[in-house]
A and B are shown apart, each in its own frame.
Chain A
Amino acid sequence: MVAILYEGISDKAFFNSILEEYNLPKEEVIFYGFEGKDNLFKISHSNYNYLESDIDVGRVTKVLLVVDADNEKDPNPHRGFEASKTKLEETISDLNFDVPLYYYIMCDEKNEGNLESFLLSVLENDQKECINKFRECYKYDLTDKWAYNTFYKQKKYPFDYSHQNFIPLKNTLTKLFT
């Protein structure tokens, strides 16, 4: 089985749908929700005890850690793509598990943001333009999460899983099952 470690519930919903889309065996995935990026970086978190015992008995044979890049202007620790990458690699090293561990950082084309930013990055240009115009017109800061909930959840724009931005994620997921 494969363990996917994620920050929030929307990540899990997304992985369930993308695994199905790519015909990958989602019944072979054990999800570990951490309720936040900071928790995922705490190797003392109880989920890591469970994961360790799962690895010991052979229940889990590969692991994927997924976090949002967030924005480096955010004053909290480990925010921004590079800081997230560094902390992920440090966490993986500290965990020292005897199975392959991979990671994936959710972000847009500028290496910023989160799952929603990633999903907005695969929109057609005219769709992106539409959202940007709305943001300009609205004047207040509208997050990518808002845009996702407005345009994706209500299915105004469908996912384009064949978009090139999905390729690295698809390759990472495929590695988990080979």
Chain B
Amino acid sequence: MSKHFLSSIEIIDFKCFKKFNAKNFKRINLISGKNNVGKTAFMEAIYINLNSLDIETSTSAMASMPFSRNNLEFITNTYSEKVEKEYLEKNDSIHIESNIIKNKFHIKSQNGKKEYEFVLNDIQYIINSNEFSFNEKNIDNINFIDNFGLSNSELKDYFESVQKLDKEESLYNYINSFDSTILNFKVLGGNKAVCKTVFSDEYRDINEFGDGLKHYISIICCVYACKDGYLFIDEIDNGIHYTQLERLWEIIFTISKEVNCQVFATTHSREMINAYAKVSQKLDEEDISFIELGRNKENEIKAITMNYDRFQTEIKNGNEIRGW
């Protein structure tokens, strides 16, 4: 496994997690569990942790999560420091430690004075909240596709990564294998993602096609964009027909290996899980894990991380692995 890959995480006081740990992650990691067990929050915690190279990237990641959760795309153009700080302060205390980065964030309020305390890899920073200036700074090769998918502007950025890697031809082939009536995909006029079909010479806005196609293209472009980085995909099977699930996994397995990208994805779908098992077996790809989340009798969230062998055995035995 690549050195930069995340292998373990400890999450304390973040959203639904009080004290949680999980380990033995691999290059591709599929997460499942019942509703409200924290699948997305688990990925968000990892996303924040990996983005915590400095205060700007860390706070940008922390503030971006509630945006995506609330589907507030309509206000992304009116991103204001006030809104960002409000979202930042939703997390008054976070402690997330991985094999890569240790990060803590805590809001101290005393005698009418509010301070932000950051501890990044054991270095402490204390900043008065009034003096804190929010500067949005993202790490290009760490990306999160939430369950609402990407905006056209985001898709344009990721398509540029495909172009920089000279992988347009591969992308077209993948799209064609998803829907053979689609001939081409482009970004025109700045950020207008469009497709051309066999039925017409005109390019049509990608939003005129089904959500599945956009989700599929988004995932492929994003894996390329996350070269030597990390990709998070919430509800990976969203809008994708069951007949395409194995193909999607084949593509993710292939590209993530090629560009050295670690992938975390969530699903509720048995079909998606079965496709994951089948493709990993077919490609003889054992650098995978399956993470099942559930609650113990004290109602604390816990994880089981299955390696390839155990996961295949559980599938073969027909055991329920979508949470307990």
Across the interface, which residues of A come within 8 angstroms of B320, CB to CB? 1, 27-28, 30
Alpha-carbon distance A56/B292, docked complex (angstroms): 14
Q: Is the CB of A58 within 8 A of B319?
A: no
Closest to B309 in A: A46
Closest to A61 in B: B297
Q: Is the CB of B310 within 8 A of A59?
A: no
Across the interface, which residues of A come within 8 angstroms of B303, CB to CB? 57
Across the interface, which residues of A come within 8 angstroms of B319, CB to CB? 29-31
Alpha-carbon distance A2/B314, docked complex (angstroms): 14
Residues of chain B in range 272-324 having any CB-CB distance to chain A below 8 Å: 292, 294-297, 302-304, 310, 313-314, 317-320, 324
Give the size range of B's interface with the partner: 10 to 19
Closest to B322 in A: A27
Alpha-carbon distance A55/B275, docked complex (angstroms): 28
Q: Is the CB of B294 within 8 A of A59?
A: yes
Across the interface, which residues of A come within 8 angstroms of B296, CB to CB? 57-58
Mark contacts of A52-64 with chain B using CB atoms, 8 A cut-off: 1 yes-contact digit, 0 otherwise.
Answer: 0110111101000
Q: Does A87 contact B (CB under 8 A)?
A: no
Alpha-carbon distance A59/B302, docked complex (angstroms): 9
Q: Does A50 contact B (CB under 8 A)?
A: yes
Closest to A29 in B: B319
Taking the nearest CB of chain B, how far is it from the CB of A146, in angstroms?
A: 26
Taking the nearest CB of chain B, how far is it from the CB of A11, in angstroms?
A: 12
Alpha-carbon distance A41/B314, docked complex (angstroms): 21
Q: Is the CB of A58 within 8 A of B318?
A: no
Q: Does A8 contact B (CB under 8 A)?
A: no
Q: Is the CB of B317 within 8 A of A57?
A: no
Q: Is the CB of A50 within 8 A of B294?
A: no
Q: Does A37 contact B (CB under 8 A)?
A: no
- B292, B313, B317, B318: the one contacting A59 at CB < 8 Å is B292
Q: Is the CB of A58 within 8 A of B295?
A: yes
Q: Is the CB of B304 within 8 A of A54?
A: yes
Closest to B292 in A: A59
Q: Does A12 contact B (CB under 8 A)?
A: yes
- B302, B313, B318: the one contacting A57 at CB < 8 Å is B302
Alpha-carbon distance A129/B318, docked complex (angstroms): 38
Mark contacts of B64-89 with chain A using CB atoms, 8 A cut-off: 1 yes-contact digit, 0 otherwise.
Answer: 00000000000000000000000000
- B297, B302, B304, B317: the one contacting A33 at CB < 8 Å is B317
Across the interface, which residues of A come within 8 angstroms of B295, CB to CB? 58
Alpha-carbon distance A122/B292, docked complex (angstroms): 40
- A1, A32, A58, A61: the one contacting B302 at CB < 8 Å is A58
Alpha-carbon distance A25/B314, docked complex (angstroms): 18
Taking the nearest CB of chain A, how far is it from the CB of B297, in angstroms?
A: 6
Q: Is the CB of A31 within 8 A of B317?
A: yes
Across the interface, which residues of A come within 8 angstroms of B317, CB to CB? 12, 30-33
Closest to B298 in A: A58
Taking the nearest CB of chain B, how far is it from the CB of A37, in angstroms?
A: 18
- B297, B302, B310, B324: the one contacting A50 at CB < 8 Å is B310
Across the interface, which residues of A come within 8 angstroms of B318, CB to CB? 31
Alpha-carbon distance A31/B324, docked complex (angstroms): 14
Closest to B303 in A: A57
Taking the nearest CB of chain A, how far is it from the CB of B199, in angstroms?
A: 45
Known: A28-B320, A30-B320. A58 touches B292 (CB 8 A): no
Q: Is the CB of A53 within 8 A of B324?
A: no
Alpha-carbon distance A50/B292, docked complex (angstroms): 13
Across the interface, which residues of B come within 8 angstroms of A30, CB to CB? 314, 317, 319-320
Taking the nearest CB of chain B, how far is it from the CB of A67, in angstroms?
A: 18
Taking the nearest CB of chain A, how far is it from the CB of B273, in angstroms?
A: 14
Mark contacts of A66-103 with chain B using CB atoms, 8 A cut-off: 1 yes-contact digit, 0 otherwise.
Answer: 00000000000000000000000000000000000000
Taking the nearest CB of chain B, how far is it from the CB of A33, in angstroms?
A: 6
Q: State the B residues within 8 Å of A (CB).
A: 292, 294-297, 302-304, 310, 313-314, 317-320, 324
Q: State the A residues within 8 Å of B (CB).
A: 1, 12, 27-33, 50, 53-54, 56-59, 61
5 nearest A-B pairs in the assembled complex, by CB-CB distance: A58-B296, A57-B302, A31-B317, A30-B319, A59-B324
9 interchain pairs (CB within 8 A)?
A: A27-B320, A28-B320, A30-B314, A30-B317, A30-B320, A58-B294, A58-B324, A59-B304, A61-B297
